[in-house]
Structure formats: structure tokens, C-alpha cells
Amino acid sequence: MDFFRNVAKNEFVTDGLPPDYEKLVGQEYKDRMRQLENDFQSIKWLPLDIPRIDIDDHEEFFHIWNDQSIDILRHRVCVAEPWSKEEHPLGQKSSWYVPQFRGLTLWSHPMNNLEMNPFLAKKYKGDSKQLERIVDQVFEYFPMHTFWEIFLWESLIPIGPHRDKSAYWKCPTEFRAMLYDENTDPTLYVVDVEHGDKNYIDCPEDTNSFCWSNGSQIHGSDYFGKRKVILCMNGIQHSTKCRDLFTRSVNKYKSKLNYNLEI
Ligand SMILES: [Fe+2]
């Protein structure tokens, strides 16, 4: 199908930072990220050496989730699907019309205008202690210099291979935790843009946090009617914290990967 072939062919991809971050960081940061890219470019996906992040109270969580989360419809173009509502090749089946996810934003940087997101977003305004604790764990464990948004998404249909509107360094740039998953086998996968191999993200028992590179991989997700809720974040990654976390995680999980990692 043309739609996916075009994305996989990488036609819309830039290199390094997303264009709207260019003015926010200096040359020294870019140089450090290039070095990180150089040292960790062979990582396709990787479990992270981060303690499990779990739902404390399932009943309360799903009460909030079912009540507060919204259908995530597209309302702006982005690198993943750079077509307007009228021009999208999937027509009325596109993400402008059919939600691929339910979602809820747990935390957002004070300067982040959620209206500018490619997809609709709704900020949680309640006072659930377990959701606050999840946000605290993200701040504590993930290697970001500045967080921009922390949110939960639940996929509702299969998600075709695509890139996110994010950084495009060829080292891990995407950070997630599988907060809830009813599937017994992994459903989220990455596909190497250069080599075409597809690898499922299959974390060991002791962590549900993982990363992949938006620069070297596209990603997608199977759907078999089972629910999964993924904790997502974006922002500007911290090069030194990343180096430390990637090194620890490679040492800990290299032998548990479903591809050969030479670092
Ligand atoms: Fe994505």
C-alpha cells in the first residue's frame, strides 16, 4: 500500500533534532548527541535499567482512564503523516477521522501549548496519588534534560509502521514504559530502516521501560483486541544521562535481546 511504503521509504525524515527544537539547544549539545549517536547507533530497541513502573490500584486507574481519556484524533499534520485532512491518502479512514488511540496527558511543561500537538490532547486535572507517583518515577528515572509532556496512550487498532514527531538521532530517542498489557506476546515492534529487519519489543520481567531510535527505526503495533496502555514522554534528552543509562542497560540486557547487539 502506497501510504506505508512512502513512510518506510523515509521521504519525510530529517536528521538530528526536530526543526522546532533547533533554536533551543547549542552546538555543544548537538556535538554530544552526535557522539552518542556514534557510540549507540547499533541499538534497535533496548530494555532500560529502570525499576518497573506499575499501576498501584487497577480499579482506580481504569475508573479514571475510562472516564477521563479521550479519542486521539489528528488535528495537525506531522512527519508521520504529512497530509492535510483533505489530502490524506486514507481519506475518511485517516487519523483525522478514525482515532488510533485513547489518551490522557499526565503532565505538561508550563510552556507547552497542547493545542500545537499533531493530535488532540487532554490534561488530567484530578488528584490521583498513583498517577502523581507515575509522573514522579518518570522524572526520577528517565534521561531527559527537559521534559515537555508525559502522557498515556492506549491503542485501539493496529498501528502501521511510522516515525514519531520527535528527534531523529540514530541512537535511542524514544522512551516508553508498558504500563498495562493484556497481550501475552509482544505487539509493539521496530523495523530497521536500512536493513528492513523487524524486531518486537520484548522486555524481561524486571523492567517495563524501553527505548528505540526514531532515526534508524520505524515502529508500529499489532492489535488483537487486548488492551495495552503505554506511558510515553517527550522532551529534550540529556546526553550524559543517556550515555550512563544506555551503558548500564546494554550491560544488563544485551544477552536478552532478540537481535545481535555489538557494543
Ligand atoms: Fe508512534
Per-residue three-class SS string for 148-180: EEEEEEEECCCEEEECCCCCECCCCCEEEEEEE
Q: What pLDDT is recorded for position 8?
A: 41
Instruction: Per-residue pLDDT tens, the chain, 263 aa: give them.
Output: 333 434 443 434 446 676 666 677 788 888 999 999 999 999 999 999 999 999 999 999 999 999 999 999 999 887 778 889 999 999 999 989 999 999 999 999 999 999 988 899 999 999 999 999 999 999 999 999 999 999 999 999 999 898 887 888 999 999 999 999 999 999 999 999 999 999 999 999 999 999 999 999 999 999 999 999 999 999 999 999 999 999 999 999 999 999 999 88
Q: State in Å: Cα 219 to ligand 1 middle.
A: 6
- Residue ranges and CATH numbers for the domains of the chain are 43-248 (2.60.120)
pLDDT of residue 15: 60
Phi and psi, residue 153, nearest 5°: -130, 140
Give distance in angstroms: CA of 139 to centre of ligand 1.
Answer: 21
Phi/psi region, residue 225 (left: phi>0; alpha: psi -120 to 50; beta: rest), is left
Predicted confidence at residue 24, as pLDDT, reads: 74
Q: Give 76 Cα–ligand 1 centroid separation in angstroms.
A: 15
Cα(188) to centroid(ligand 1), Å:
10
What whole-number distance in Å separates Cα of residue 234 and Cα of residue 214? 12
CA 221 to centroid of ligand 1, rounded, Å: 9
Interval between CA 163 and ligand 1 midpoint (Å) = 6
What are the E-state strand segments in the chain? Answer: 45-47, 70-72, 101-108, 144-155, 159-162, 174-181, 188-192, 198-200, 209-212, 217-221, 228-237
- Residue 192 Cα to ligand 1 middle (Å): 15
- Interior CA angle at 162 toward 202 and 121, to 5°? 95
Give the separation between CA 256 and CA 260, rounded to whole angstroms: 10
How many angstroms separate the alpha carbon of residue 164 from the centre of ligand 1? Answer: 5
Output the CA 218–ligand 1 centroid distance in Å. 8
The set of cell numbers assigned to 148 is 515537555
Task: Kindly state the cell numbers that stand for 55.
Answer: 499501576
Ligand 1 centre and the CA of 34: distance in Å?
23
Distance 144 CA to ligand 1 centre (A): 19
